[in-house]
Structure formats: structure tokens, C-alpha cells
Amino acid sequence: MREMYEGITATAPQQVKKQAAKIVRPHIVAGVKPATIPPASIIDWAALERDAARVSALLALWQEQMESLEDEEMLLMLMAA
């Protein structure tokens, strides 16, 4: 989960990053003030992984982002040919 979140927050458009942040925000370690896009280091990943709905939402968001990147790569390859 953490790797997916880090990948999304590193490469995705701002709107997608905000969606990912909304998914993980309830599992920020207690006592830590979150940023708009909280870094992976302040997320309680064990608690998040017990939250099936949020895990599913993060997986779906990651899948959409991967498909979008694949579509962009395919378009670039077609344009270069």
C-alpha cells in the first residue's frame, strides 16, 4: 500500500494526489499535523490495511493511474512512429 501511495504522490496529477490523500488521511499517525498531501512516513499503514474500503479505494486509484500512464506511453509511441 505504501509503495502505491508513494508512486501516486510522486507522479500523478495534483487532482489524483488529492484523492489519494483523502483516502489515507484518516490513518495519519496521532499527534501529527498533516500536509495537504501527507507524506507516506506519517501514515499508520497497519491501520490503513485493516480498512478494507480504503484499501480498495487506494488500489482502484493506483490502477487508474497506471492505466493512464500506459495510455500516455502508447500515444507517445504512436506519435513517434
**Cα–Cα distance measured from residue 10 to residue 79, given in angstroms and rounded to the nearest whole number:** 26
Phi, psi of 71 (to 5 degrees): -65, -40
Q: Which domain holds residue 18?
A: 2-80
pLDDT tens-digit map of 5-22: 999 999 899 999 999 999
Over residues 66-78, the pLDDT tens digits come to 888 888 887 788 8
Beta bridge partners of 1: none
pTM (2 d.p.)? 0.73
Kindly compute the dihedral angle of the four CA atoms of residues 38, 61, 67, 36, in this order, to the nearest 10 degrees. Answer: -20
The number of domains in the chain is: 1
